[in-house]
Amino acid sequence: MDNEAETRMARVLHHRKAGLSLGDPVVPAISVATTFHLPQAQGALHYYGRSGQPTWDAVEAQLSILEAAEAVAFPSGMAAITAALICCLKAGARVMIPSDGYYVTRLLGRDVLQVYGVEVVEVPTLEMAAADYTGFAVIYIETPSSPGLDVIDITTVSARAHAAGALVIVDNTTMTPLLQRPLELGADLVVAADTKAPAGHSDALFGHVAGKDANLMARVREWRRQSGAVPGPFEAYLVHRGIETLELRLSRMCASAAVISGRLAEHAAVKALRYPGLAGDPSYAISKAQMVDFGFLIGFELESEAVAEAFLADCPLIEQATSFGGVHTAAERRARWGDSVAPGFIRLSIGIEPVEVLWAAIAKALK
Ligand SMILES: Cc1ncc(COP(=O)(O)O)c(C=O)c1O
């Protein structure tokens, strides 16, 4: 972590302190109230559970510190992505999205946005930085892209997009605000699935939108109220708890990913490998410039679908699951979801297991 990330994390851990009175609980309560004492309509902090409530406030306070910007919580990453896109687009507008990013974002573009009159243009991540932005209202990027782990220069995209009159939205799920700060690099909005590393234990769906433009963020907050896409209080509590150990977990996960990617890259069974932190990786230079660390995701290719499936089944320390960022190392063949990757391509999400024990299990399963 760099100094900025460490300072923000320390503030996150004590964000409630200033508001505590003698005898108050140190951790936030799980507030399940939908109604609030309201003898008069004006002046209350909360008035109805769909508009705002104390457990969301606690998580949003953490996220606002991490993003150094206003943050609005959502019940999933997709709810956050939908909110950001809806608030920046209208019928007749054009949005550019990655053709190689999270596939449900593409489905949202095709099945929802286009149906409501938005023109959705899909461009591969690596071609987005130099693409023609003329006539676009929004340039939406995901960096590093999942599962391909291509990286795009957020500063360049933001400068070019703003010159063309477009807003920039960055899906920062694979990095989290501790590992990459898109708003500082010029992006207008950040969206993220806190379901992944921030919650961290594979037990809560959550998401957020963050941004520095107060008007835009007010629209996002109002969208949440009108759409009713609201997080549950239990999930908010779990994410609040998860974020308290985010820096600790990410440090271990990134360090282990660096070790394991290097060893996998040398392994005879591995045909190809992507990790932005390896000096020979095509993403290395931009990653080093714009990321705090290189993350916990590794993409690598084994000989065939059968070999990859056998490896996943044989490794006792890899959960065969379709998510990432959790404490348990997890992996899957992304071709099973239709991602345009080789049949033997595996996305590996490094967890918090001690690295040598994890490597020994991976190496044994690769034999
Ligand atoms: C990069 C990325 N963005 C967004 C999402 C959506 O998050 P959620 O599952 O919380 O809706 C995912 C989920 O896998 C993802 O990988």
Tell me the pLDDT of the chain (367 aa) as tens digits: 999 999 999 999 999 999 999 999 999 999 999 999 999 989 999 999 999 999 999 999 999 999 999 999 999 999 999 999 999 999 999 999 999 999 999 999 999 999 999 999 999 999 999 999 999 999 999 999 999 999 999 999 999 999 999 999 999 999 999 999 999 999 999 999 999 999 999 999 999 999 999 999 999 999 999 999 999 999 999 999 999 999 999 999 999 999 999 999 999 999 999 999 999 999 999 999 999 999 999 999 999 999 999 999 999 999 999 999 999 999 999 999 988 899 999 999 999 999 999 999 999 999 9
For ligand 1, atom 15: residue with the closest CA: 102
- Is 180 touching ligand 1 by the criterion CB < 6 Å? no
Residue 350 CA: distances (Å) to CA of 249, 272, 327: 10, 18, 8
Top mutation candidate among 74, 99, 103, 104 for ligand 1, by most atoms within 8 Å of CB: 104
Instruction: Tokens for 2, please give them.
Output: 């760099």
Ligand 1 atom with the smallest distance to the CA of 142 is 1
Count the neighbouring beta carbons within 10 Å of the beta carbon of residue 298.
Answer: 26
Amino acid at the residue 134: T
Looking at residue 35, what DSSP letter applies? B
Ligand 1 atom with the smallest distance to the CA of 79 is 11
- Is 193 touching ligand 1 by the criterion CB < 6 Å? yes
Q: Is-contact 312 332, C-beta < 8 A?
A: yes
Instruction: Looking at 120-209, list the stretches that DSSP marks H as alpha helix, in order from N- to C-terminal side.
Output: 125-128, 154-163, 176-179
For ligand 1, atom 7: residue with the closest CA: 77
Separation of 41 CA from ligand 1 center, angstroms?
38
Report the distance separating Cα 293 and Cα 298, nearest Å.
13
- Is 76 touching ligand 1 by the criterion CB < 6 Å? yes
For ligand 1, atom 6: residue with the closest CA: 77
Q: What single string gives the DSSP state of each residue in 290-308?
A: H-SS--SEEEEE-SSHHHH
Element holding 214 (H helix, E strand): helix 214-227
Amino acid at the residue 203: D
Q: Is-contact 71 63, C-beta < 8 A?
A: yes
- Is 28 touching ligand 1 by the criterion CB < 6 Å? no
∠200-15-4 over CA atoms, to 5°?
75
Count the neighbouring beta carbons within 10 Å of the beta carbon of residue 367.
Answer: 7
